[in-house]
Amino acid sequence: MSITKNRAFALTAAIAVGGLILTGCGAGGRTASKNATAVSCDYTAPDSATTVNVLAYNSSAVDPFTNTMVSSCTKGKVAVKHDPIDFGGQVTKTTATLSGSTGSYDIIETYSFVIPGLARDKKLRPLNDLFEKYADKYGLNDINKSMRAGMSYEGNLYALPMQAQMFVMAYRADVFDNLGIKVPTTFDEMIAAAKAIKAAGVMDYPIALPWLATSDIGTSFQAAMNSLDADFVSKDGTVTLDTPEAKQALQSMLSLKPYMDPQVTTFDQPKVQQQMFNGTAAMSIMFSGRMNDLTLTSNSKLSDSFKFAAPPKVNAAAKYSYDRLSIDGWSIPFNTKLDPDMLFVMMASAVSEDASKASIPAAYPARNGMVTADNSPYGKAATDSIASAMPPIASPVLASVTTEIRPILVQILAGNLTINDGAAQMQAVAQKIVG
Amino acid sequence: MKAREFWLLFAPSLLVMGGLLVIPLVRTVQWSFESVHYGSPGSFVGLENFATALTDPRFGRAVLFTLAVTAATVVILLVLGYLIATAINRITRSRPIVLGIMLVSYVLPNLVGAVAFSWLFDDNFGGVINRMIEFFGGNQVLWFTDQVPNGILVIVNTVWHMLPFAMLIILAGLQGVPTELREAGIIDGARAVQSHLHIIIPTIRGVLGFVTLISIMDVLRMFDNLIALSPQAASIGNESIMLYVYSVAFADGAQRLGLGSAINVLTIILILTLLIPFIRGIFKEAKAAR
């Protein structure tokens, strides 16, 4: 009996351990076709078996387009493949695949922030000719003109816009209504709202922003500068990180800190979402691609309480809102060996009218007039946000500058560096990059 | 064994070792003297990469943090591993289930385990430990942004992950201690503590040395658990050497492979220096066994 029991114990333990191993190994398979829309994808297929490798990070806003491409364009001898990856992984793999004469990917997801740098380094194929060729068939002229401009550099289009993401403020309408608080339009009003919420004992840290030290913090600083009609560099390429606007932006960010979780510099967007889901924050500002998650009852019991608005300005005198507009799109790497026509048709199919419609409300498609207040809970806020955002400055050095100033920025926000010293250090670092 | 048989059996291992160990090692040393970008041949820069690494205060902080975590973790692993192995060695019927449960933390992918572990300390995901601290009247601990609490968190997670390995190896060592030897000690009047200190531990000295050796090598290479446990590792001085290498060589599309290689060469030298006493001990034992 004891031997049998021992064996049973051993078997149970083995099954438990084996199950855990299999669970671990199974994490992250190839993207399935959920969220996919069936669209026509009429390319001329090559004679031999062909695999089209797609690099695109996973998010609820990008997935519908990627999944549509994978499911609709895989046919016959052509297989479109996409492996799950996060945004950081995409950044690293983009650099790697574009570095040599051959790459691992044939279609890559790009965004407006990196287009100038990649275009300057001739890492992407200009798409003007293909756009003209297929514009009528796929209704490409309905893609927002300013978004196309955002994916262009020196007159050439380098990515076919898929969707845009802009900062949107999500807030707890129930808390605001109960306390008679109006939706904040400036940082001062945000602070006043936070004080009132805190004083009422509803929560300790009413404001939630993604300020992760290794990524989001740079975007947030840029958004604060944009609100003041400035950026890290001016249109002529001069570094502007020790200007009064830069210092004012830093000061305004510091002014929010007492009302945010003390560990805010470890919070990325999913963690900010989690704060909202849990009811530990009453207002947050994130990219619009994160907003639909807040409205899903499966994510939070508070989903009905969330309302959306354009982000506030840094101060009442600021020209623009605390905002960043990022356009996502599809690009063809310079080193793919596959037929550019076939690849472009796949990209055009993925951003077709049907595919774009189906991506709402998870995404804000690049096609004109798609998102309305009726079909997207944050549609009006997103449209208002675009209207109040500073037009982006297209500079090939912005991405590098953002990366290099980040550690200094963290030290300023942690209180280890004064604003003046930090601004001077950031200016020096950025000037070294600009040369 | 004939020479032909020997080479037939040895050749696959030689190929794998050459392909996966020797060639990358040679290439790492070569790149450490070059400026290298993806997809293009490197250009010789002499000792510039080493100078950059050695004059970067961040590298110094990464070395200090890595060594501190390694020292603390290895000591805890040996002590706890020995105590738990001794306890498990005494149980018979429930041993398989106890071992099965204990192995969970070891078989989990390190990153997955670290993410789950971090939730114990993260208010956004329940923060069970924080709730317990609060229950007992303690103040809020900033586990992810204060250097010392974060260092403790990293050490505890590393111990949690590696303890089953240490315990299993020590348990195997304990099972090899001759019963006669223990009985002789008892007859000579040795108490339990004396028996452990003067009979069992000296007998399994080699096993403990092996656990120490492997643990030092593993902890010195820690990387993925810090992604979850120390999101702002660099700014609070809790960056490991491997995380530092990743940050300067790969993160955010960086392409400083030469600098990364130089840091790796320095790390290899550091690891070898730390392991010299253990390697010498193993050689001595092997020599004595002949």
Q: Check residues A378 and B281 and name the one with the higher pLDDT.
A: A378
**Block residue for tokens 């950026």:** A231
Residue of A nearest to B99 (CA): A13
Token pair recorded at residue A354:
């049907």
| Region of poorest pLDDT, from A30-39, A62-71, B229-238 | A30-39
Residue A29 has pLDDT above 90, yes or no: no
- Band (A33; pLDDT cuts 50, 70, 90): low
Closest of B250, B255, B229 to residue B240, by C-alpha: B229
User: Do A9 and B39 lie within an 8 Å CB cutoff?
Assistant: no
Residue B170 confidence (pLDDT) above 70? yes
* N-to-C CA span, chain A: 80
Does residue A96 belong to the interface with chain B, where contact is any CB pair within 8 Å? yes
Over residues A287-308, the mean pLDDT reads 94
Using a CB–CB cutoff of 8 Å, tell me whether A284 touches chain B. no
- What's chain B's length in residues? 290
Tell me the nearest-neighbour CA distance from B220 into chain A, angstroms: 23
Give the whole-angstrom CA distance, residue B284 versus residue B277. Answer: 11
Phi-psi region of A300 (alpha: psi -120 to 50; beta: other; left: phi over 0): beta
CA-CA distance, A326 to B157, in Å (whole number)?
A: 37
Residue B199's nearest CA partner among B210, B209, B188 is B188
Predicted confidence at residue A6, as pLDDT, reads 52
Q: Is the pLDDT of residue A8 over 70?
A: no
Q: Which of A14, A101, A213 sits opposite B100 (nearest CB)?
A: A14
Residues of B in contact with A403 (CB under 8 A): 252-254
pLDDT surpasses 60 at A25: no
pLDDT at A411 over 60: yes
Q: Chain A residues with CB inside 8 Å of B144's CB?
A: 263, 266
CB A190 within 8 A of CB A378: no
Please state, in angstroms and rounded to a whole number, the distance separating the CA atoms of residues A398 and A230.
13
Residue B142: helix, strand or coil by DSSP?
Answer: coil
**Contacts of residue A27 in chain B, CB cutoff 8 Å?**
109, 112
Q: List residues of B whose CB lies inside 8 A of any A CB.
A: 37-40, 93-94, 96-97, 99-101, 103-104, 107-109, 112, 123-125, 140, 142-145, 231-232, 234-235, 250-255
Q: Is the pLDDT of residue B156 over 60?
A: yes
Q: How many CB pairs under 8 A join A and B?
A: 105
Confidence of residue A379 (pLDDT cuts 50, 70, 90): very high
User: Between the CA of residue A299 and those of A59, A167, A221, A278, A290, what are the distances in Å?
Assistant: 15, 21, 29, 10, 12
Architecture of domain A166-324+394-434: 3-Layer(aba) Sandwich (3.40)
pLDDT at A252: 97
Q: State how far the alpha carbon of B20 is from the alpha carbons of A183, B16, B17, B185, B208, in Å.
A: 59, 6, 5, 48, 29
Give the CA diameter of chain B. Answer: 72
Say yes or no to pLDDT of A30 above 90.
Answer: no
Nearest Cα residue to A154 out of A124, A179, A192: A124
Give CA–CA dist A326/A159, Å, rounded. Answer: 13
**Separation CA B35–CA B175 (nearest Å):** 53
Contact list in B for residue A5 (CB cut-off 8 A) is 93
The residue ranking higher by pLDDT, A99 or A417, is A417
- Note the pLDDT of residue A373: 87
For A169-178, write each residue's pLDDT tens digit.
999 999 999 9
pLDDT at A7 > cutoff 60: no
CA distance A196 to A420: 31
Cβ of B107 within 8 Å of Cβ of A275? The answer is: no
* The predicted structure's pLDDT at residue A56: 97
Question: Between residues B103 and A185, which one has the greater pLDDT?
Answer: A185
* CA atoms of A276 and A320, how far apart (whole Å): 26
Q: What is the mean pLDDT of chain B?
A: 91
**Residue-wise burial string across A107-130, b where 16 or more C-beta atoms lie within 10 A, e elsewhere:** bbbbbbbbbbbbbeeebbbbbeeb
Burial class (CB in 10 A: 0-12, 13-18, 19+), B37: middle
Please check whether residue A125 is in contact with residue A340, taking contact to mean a CB–CB distance below 8 angstroms. Answer: yes
- Does the beta-carbon distance from A214 to B232 stay under 8 Å? yes
SS3 per-residue string spanning chain A: CHHHHHHHHHHHHHHHHHHHHHHHHHCCCCCCCCCCCCCCCCCCCCCCCEEEEEECCCCCCCHHHHHHHHHHHCECCEEEEECCCCHHHHHHHHHHHCCCCCCCCCEEEEECCCHHHHHHCCCECCCHHHHHHHCCCCCHHHECHHHHHHCEECCEECCEEEEEEEEEEEEEHHHHHHHCCCCCCEHHHHHHHHHHHHHCCCCCCCEECCCCCCCHHHHHHHHHHHHCCCCCECCCCCECCCCHHHHHHHHHHHHHHHHCCCCHHHCCHHHHHHHHHHCCCCEEEEEHHHHHHHCCCCCCCCHHHEEEECCCECCCCCCCCCCCEEEEEEECECCCCCCHHHHHHHHHHHCCHHHHHHCCCCCCECECCCCCCCCCCCHHHHHHHHHHCCCCCCCCCHHHHHHHHHHHHHHHHCCCCCHHHHHHHHHHHHHHHHC
Contacts of A124 (CB under 8 A, 6+ apart): A98, A110, A115, A118, A158, A159, A331, A332, A333, A334
Looking at CA atoms only, how far is residue A384 from chain B in angstroms?
Answer: 30
Q: Where are the beta strands (DSSP E) in chain B?
A: 34-35, 43-44
Question: Average pLDDT, stretch A209-226?
Answer: 95
Say if residues B275 and B216 touch (Cβ distance below 8 Å): yes
Q: Give residue A375's pLDDT.
A: 92
Q: What pLDDT, in 10s, does the model give residues A328-374?
A: 999 999 999 999 999 999 999 999 999 999 999 999 999 998 998 88
Q: Do B39 and A280 touch (CB under 8 A)?
A: no
- Helix axis angle for B110-119 and B147-175, nearest 10°, is 130
Residue A32, pLDDT score: 44
Q: What is the CATH code of the structural domain delimited by A50-165+327-388? A: 3.40.190.10
Are B265 and B244 spatial neighbours (Cβ–Cβ below 8 Å)? no
pLDDT above 70 coverage of chain A, percent: 92
B5-31 pLDDT, tens digit each: 899 999 999 999 889 999 999 999 999
- Of A98, A56, A74, give the one whose Cα is nearest residue A289: A56
Count of residues making up chain A: 435
Given this model, what pLDDT does residue B155 score?
Answer: 97
Residue in chain A nearest B41 by alpha carbon: A100
Nearest CB to B39: which of A17, A100, A410? A100
Q: What is the per-residue pLDDT across A238-290, written as a single tens digit (0 to 9) for each?
A: 999 999 999 999 999 999 999 999 999 999 999 999 999 999 999 999 999 99
Q: How far apart are CA B82 and CA B76, in angstroms?
A: 10
Residue A263 contacts B where some CB pair is shorter than 8 Å: yes
Interacting residues of A209 by C-beta distance below 8 A, sequence separation 6+: A220, A256, A260, A264, A267, A272, A284, A285, A286
**Contact at CB, A95 and B253, closer than 8 angstroms:** yes
pLDDT of residue A24: 40
Mean pLDDT of B246-262: 86
Taking 70 as the threshold, does the pLDDT of residue A314 lie above it? yes
Is pLDDT at B188 greater than 60 in this prediction? yes
Q: Given the DSSP bridges, would you call strands A306-309 and A283-287 parallel, antiparallel or unpaired?
A: unpaired
Per-residue pLDDT, B253 = 72
Number of H helices, E strands in chain B: 17, 2
Residue A28 pLDDT:
34
Give the per-residue pLDDT at B85.
95
Taken in order B235, B238, B242, B243, the sign of the CA dihedral is: negative
| More confident position, B140 or A2 | B140
pLDDT band at A232 (very low <50, low <70, confident <90, very high): very high
CA dist., res. A61 & res. A164, Å (int) = 9
Q: Going by DSSP bridges, is the β-strand pair A156-157/A152-153 parallel, antiparallel, or unpaired?
A: antiparallel
Q: At what angle do helices B57-90 and B147-175 cross, to 10 degrees?
A: 40
CB contact under 8 A, B107 and A10: no
Q: What is the largest CA-CA distance in chain A?
A: 84
B56 interaction partners in chain A (CB closer than 8 Å)? none
Please say whether the structural domain B68-244 has been given the CATH code 3.40.50.300.
Answer: no
Partnered with residue A308 across adjacent β-strands are A170
Please determine, for residue A321, whether its predicted confidence score (pLDDT) is greater than 50: yes
What stretch(es) of chain A map to CATH 3.40.190.10? Answer: 50-165+327-388, 166-324+394-434
Asked if B109's CB is within 8 angstroms of A24's CB, the reply is yes
| Residue A56: Cβ within 10 Å count | 27
Residue B190 host element (H or E): none
- Do the Cβ atoms of A31 and A67 come closer than 8 Å? yes
